[in-house]
Amino acid sequence: MKKIYTKIAALAMVLVPAGAIAQNLESGFFTDGYLYRHEMNPAIENSRNYVAMPLLGNMNMGMSGNIGIRDVLFNRGGKTVLYTNPQVNATEFMNGISNRNRINSDFKVQLLGAGFKAWGGYNTIGINIRGSESAIIPRSIFDITKNGLKNQTYDISDLNAHAHSYVEIALGHSRKIDEKWRVGAKFKFLLGAGNIDANVTNGTITLGENGYVANIDAELKGNIAGLSYKTKDSEHNPGRKIMNGMDVSGYKISGLGAAFDFGAEYKINDDWKVMASITDLGFISWKNTQLAATHGTVNTNDYIFNVDNDAEHSFSNEGEKLGDQLATLYELEDMGDVGRRTTMLGATMNIGGEYIAPFYRKLTFGLLNTTRINGRYSWTNFRLSANVAPAKCFSAGVNFAVGTYGTSLGWIMSVHPKGFNLFLGMDHTIGKLAKQGIPLSSNTEFNMGINFPF
């Protein structure tokens, strides 16, 4: 039985790849010389035009979460072992596990990008490949896999995973309204590549002395052109076709959508400025939704346990039967194509304030709140930064953030002589690494870009 849940936990952990790419460099929000501040607030204007180097104009790699490798792998006797190893103390392990264990990443690969002054304002063009991956693993999954089943009720209903990707064609414009106000907006045309949602909407297992009651409602929705589910006959329910994998025949557009960004800046006086924006306010309409689902219920009191290992009703025999019956709860039946569905993008809200130091005008301080509004996958953080631009060709900043995924230290450095711009930065500075070079924390990120201002 523990093997079933170990596989579930492992699958959810790898649904969000460690090499995923972060969406925006928040550390650069208040930094002169970072050309992509308009991605977080379309009202922001760059002082120069620019053309991005294809594929390398704005490249970000990283992920965020409240559970990482260091929480599930341990060093025992000079060897790296999984948390299920008997040498790992159960209390020590469970003390490091949250009620809702989350891993999130967003990615944006810029294919082409440019910004230029015209038509009374500043304009931006971008063609990007974008996506989002998220997973939530309830604490009870880790409890079962580590401690085994006991006479109690387990709630496994908050097990979720999501992934989608699309191509974005974005056109932006910002302009100055008067001496205090500047506003901007972007329109984004979206070409959906694929969408997957896996959710256990209801799941409880209650074990008693001689039996158990188990209920599970789970479904998997897939929107990928040419997607079909492989099936096999159920071992436990003859005649029932259950999901046994996926097939994708070719890659085509799976959906169409649109989104908007809106932003504004307000200059209070020569020292203070505030700004606010909401980005990715939009949707994608997907076609050909392939559904696999289960609505399983098992209620039995026919378990008789015998302490004699050779008896018919020994603990091992009855435990194996229990595991086989519970396994039927996770058999997803192929429901076929159920038609179109529409999903909203995860909108992001940015609210910030900037203060220019009166004793040194090239030094600024900023406070930024970033909140992702995305249902069960929502998150927020606050980032306090200090930024300096001592020369026309160089700017940098450092910041400290606290939020849903804990605390982090960020930084950015931008070198921008005439005709060239290189920036490097991290919203989450990489901490301790495993021997294989893998970060032990899931909060890690690296950002870079090469652009050509003119």
**Which range, 114-123, 142-151, 291-300, 321-330, has the best average confidence (pLDDT)?**
114-123
What local confidence, expressed as pLDDT, does residue 436 receive?
Answer: 56
Kindly report which listed range (150-154, 217-221, 262-266) carries the lowest average pLDDT score. 150-154
Residue 428 belongs to what H/E stretch?
A: none
- The helix/strand/coil state of 64 is strand
Tokens of 262: 């809106």
The secondary element (H helix, E strand) that includes residue 316 is: helix 315-327
The Cα-based distances of 127 to 93, 109, 172 in angstroms read 44, 9, 12
Regarding predicted confidence, which is higher, 402 or 247? 402
Query: How big is the chain by its Cα radius of gyration, in Å?
Result: 26
**Which of 372, 420, 376 minimizes the C-alpha distance to 394?**
420
**Mean pLDDT across the chain:** 83
Query: Which run of H or of E encompasses 15?
Result: helix 2-15
Question: Do 243 and 332 contact (CB within 8 A), yes or no?
Answer: yes
State residue 37's pLDDT score: 96
Using the structure block, give the residue that is written with the tokens 């979720």.
160
How many residues in the chain?
Answer: 454
Q: How many domains does the chain have?
A: 1
Question: Which tokens in the block code for residue 237?
Answer: 């329910």
The answer to which of 62-71, 90-99, 137-146, 148-157 has the lowest mean pLDDT is 148-157
Q: Give the C-alpha separation, 47 to 37, whole Å.
A: 12
Give the residue numbers spanning the domain of 284: 2-453
Q: What is the pLDDT of residue 352?
A: 97
| HSE value, Cβ hemisphere, 13 Å, CA-based, for 285 | 6
Cα–Cα distance measured from residue 235 to residue 3, given in angstroms and rounded to the nearest whole number: 18
CA–chain centroid gap for 41, Å, is 21
Residue 306: predicted pLDDT = 44
* Helix orientation angle between 2-15 and 139-147, rounded to the nearest 10 degrees: 140
Q: CA-to-CA distance for 10 and 438, rounded, in angstroms? A: 17
Asked whether 29 and 274 are in contact (CB, 8 A), the reply is: no
Q: Cα(50)–Cα(212) distance, rounded to whole angstroms? A: 65
Longest CA–CA separation in the chain, Å: 88
Which helix (DSSP H) or strand (DSSP E) does residue 411 occupy?
Answer: strand 406-415
Task: Tell me the per-residue pLDDT of 21-36, one tens digit each, with 9 for 90 and over.
Answer: 456 899 999 998 899 9
Distance CA 174, CA 122 (A): 5
Crossing angle between the packed helical segments 2-15 and 315-327, to the nearest 10 degrees: 40
Q: pLDDT by residue (tens digit) across 342-400?
A: 999 989 999 999 999 999 999 999 999 999 999 888 999 999 999 999 998 999 999 99
**pLDDT, position 177:** 96
Q: What is the reported pLDDT for 373? A: 93
DSSP single-letter state for residue 53? P
- Which positions ≥6 away from 288 have C-beta within 8 Å? 223, 225, 227, 254, 337, 339, 340
pLDDT in tens, 406-450: 888 999 999 999 999 999 999 988 766 655 555 656 677 888 999
- pLDDT score, position 233: 79
User: Could you tell me the two tokens for 256?
Assistant: 């169409």
Tokens of 412: 């950015």
Q: Which pLDDT does position 243 carry in this prediction?
A: 78
Number of neighbouring beta carbons within 10 Å of residue 13: 19
Q: 236 pLDDT exceeds 70?
A: no
- Local confidence band at 317 (pLDDT 50, 70, 90 cut-offs): low
The answer on pLDDT for 311 being more than 60 is no
194-217 pLDDT, tens per residue? Answer: 999 988 878 787 766 555 677 788
The mean pLDDT of 110-136, rounded to a whole number, is 93
Return the pLDDT at 9: 42
Per mean pLDDT, which range of 131-145, 247-261, 287-301 is the poorest?
287-301
